[in-house]
Structure 1
Amino acid sequence: MFTSHDGLCSIGELAERAGVTVKAVRFYSDRGLLPEASRSAGGHRRYGPEALGRLRLVRSLRALGLPVREVHRILDEEDEAGSVLEDAVAGQLRELGSQLKALRWREAGLQLVQECPPGERAGRLALIGALAAPPSTAPLARFWRSWLPARMPARATAAFLEAAVPEPPDDPEPAQALAFARLNAFVTRPCTGAEQPRPEAHRTAGAHGPAVLYAGLARAYELAGTQLRRGREPYAGEELDSFVGAYTSVYGARDTPAFRSRLARQLAADPRIDRYWELVTEVISIPGGPPEPTPGSAHDWLFAALDAQTTAAA
């Protein structure tokens, strides 16, 4: 309780008891966060006993970084479950997480420029400068959307993009940041849709074939990825059968030695985007650790198994 005869206190006394400045109390009052009980004859603000607790709560909420509008909503709509406060804190945590991720990417970019030889700094700056912080995956998604068959169903496209487009790490090592910058440069270099390399299967799969093909390939890549993590050399097994089956299901063919031989020749002649997958591996793998499998490395493992099998049979 305040000691004045009317149980109220001045703005100065309230500020002193709460450990804040008079300017802060006036700021909160002007924005409706701290209602005054009355005004003195001279027009000075007077506050009731409940103002001290409310002011301390406002100060605590502001110390958490909550904007004034959120503090206002919490004070005005506070309920027993505290859902308004929980929502505000959750939103602030999301925003703070995004800011921290951006700062980590900026730090990695600065380290890349600081550590590179002077003759490479201009090129390195151009790579890093082309990225937002944190970087967007939109250019990578656009690259693949222009590469995929035009009649690819939306669900199948989304599944492919999930596997093909790496998420930028929240706390990147400089090498990962450089790989992502190079990946961004790779997909944004001048290249018309007509010049994009496409495999033969895109032209022969028919209306529903692309979705069937990529669903089958996804299963084969997952199986091959397990063997890649184990360090297994390519071999003819369940993984290769699944890989070949993805193509037989699209072409309406039987899995025969002759079909496998034709498929091996076709895949050998298909254009490749090896550099993309090399950079993806650098982005998603922990520096110094074993490389993480990608659809590209899984495809190479499966093709090597197919090529070895058909060569031996010939």
Structure 2
Amino acid sequence: MIDGMVIGQLAASTGLSVRTLRFYADAGVLPETGRTQAGYRIFGPEAVARARLVRTLRELGVGLDDIKRVLAAETSLIDVATEHVRALDAQIRTLRLQRAVLRAFIGSTDPEELERMTDLTNLTADERRRIVDDYLDAVFGDEPSAVADKLRMGTPELPDDATPEQVAAWVEIVELMRDPGFVASSRAMAQRALAEGPEPDVARFEMGTAVGELAGPAARAGVDPSSAEALAVVERLEAMSAQAPGERLRAAERIEAFTDRRVGRYWTLVGIVNGWAPAQAPDGVIDSWEWYARALRAHA
């Protein structure tokens, strides 16, 4: 008389195939209690619950080595489950990011763009942060700066579950931060801000409104910055700001330092990556200031 179950009986009791039960037994997670005279495996009464537990853990993706540790009481089922949850979370984050990269790439015909997206999004959070820090160091150097501190607080942080739009924005931000021209423009702007103070005063806001009201229409109408009509706009703005005609070139240089469209684009992209409320790019405002700067230079 057989003291236990043969593998066919165990299969009928657990709903698992004979082939699967043989695999579990050979892997050491389903020990047999003996063999029949004909060589068939014999399993004890606890094999039913054990086989079902192994099946459940395997369906959840737990490896055989971890299952062995649980069954040997080397670790608890809760500890293994906790560890596996962490591993699944990391895998899910990776899969979501890969999906976002592929969706962001759809429509492109440039294989190098896909490679660039993959490389930049596969970086760790610390590696991505290093790119931003390198840019800020190149712009501000080692000197303490309230402007730099504010920029660091608003740096782009690519989320683990990034959307295709956030992936594309992150890649474009990195390209900007690695562009020597953009770095030089940012440095010039930072130096101006450090010299003049990070907080604009009321007069600057009033001047900005005046430029929009006077230079804006001239820019949209295509008025030649070197014309007499443009000079009249310059003189009216000078009268409002108490700026002397001899300071036109210096004023033009200051405006040019703060009206780089790439800076506006950078902050638009940062908003996308960080999930901030969407804001329209101030192209119309920049058009007005750029036209005013050209007019100042033309009549300097």
Instruction: Provide the TM-score with structure 1 as the length reference.
Output: 0.55
Match of 1:282 in 2: 272
8 A Cα contact 1:147 1:197, kept in partner: yes
Q: CA deviation at 1:282?
A: 3.3
Q: CA deviation at 1:48?
A: 0.7
8 A Cα contact 1:168 1:180, kept in partner: no
More helix as a share of residues: 2
Query: Partner letter of residue 157 of structure 2?
Result: P
8 A Cα contact 2:156 2:274, kept in partner: no
8 A Cα contact 2:157 2:273, kept in partner: yes
In the alignment, structure 1 segments of 5+ residues that lack a partner are 114-120, 206-212, 221-233, 237-263, 305-314
Q: CA deviation at 1:200?
A: 7.1
Match of 2:74 in 1: 77
Match of 1:109 in 2: 104
SS in 1 for 2:42: strand
Q: CA deviation at 1:201?
A: 5.7
Cα 1:157–1:77 shift into 2, 3 Å: farther
Is 1:93 matched with 2:79?
no
Match of 1:261 in 2: none
8 A Cα contact 2:100 2:167, kept in partner: yes
SS in 2 for 1:164: coil
Match of 1:128 in 2: 114
Q: CA deviation at 1:127?
A: 2.7
Is 1:59 matched with 2:55?
yes
Q: Count residues with an aligned counterpart.
A: 228
8 A Cα contact 1:112 1:178, kept in partner: no
- Aligned pairs for 1:199-218 within 5 A: 199=188
Q: CA deviation at 1:93?
A: 3.2
Question: Structure 1 stretch 195-204 or stretch 28-37: which is displaced more?
Answer: 195-204
Cα 1:178–1:38 shift into 2, 3 Å: same
Query: Which residue of the other structure, out of 141, 151, 163, is the alignment partner of 1:172?
Result: 163
CA RMSD in angstroms comes to: 4.5
Q: CA deviation at 1:285?
A: 4.2
SS in 2 for 1:46: strand
Match of 2:172 in 1: 182
Match of 1:230 in 2: none
8 A Cα contact 1:105 1:171, kept in partner: yes
Q: CA deviation at 1:196?
A: 7.3
Deviation string, structure 1 residues 133-164 (Cα, Å, up to 9, x no partner): 854335444433443423569xx989854521
Is 1:35 matched with 2:26?
no
* In structure 2, distance between residues paired with 1:24 and 1:92: 25
Percent identity between the two aligned chains:
23
Query: Partner letter of residue 170 of structure 2?
Result: F
- When Rg is computed on C-alpha atoms for both structures, the one with the higher figure is 2
* In structure 2, distance between residues paired with 1:84 and 1:130: 38
SS in 2 for 1:198: helix
Q: CA deviation at 1:105?
A: 1.2
Instruction: Provide the TM-score with structure 2 as the length reference.
Output: 0.57
Cα 1:107–1:19 shift into 2, 3 Å: farther
* In structure 1, distance between residues paired with 2:148 and 2:35: 66
Cα 1:62–1:147 shift into 2, 3 Å: farther
8 A Cα contact 1:104 1:170, kept in partner: no
Q: CA deviation at 1:276?
A: 2.1
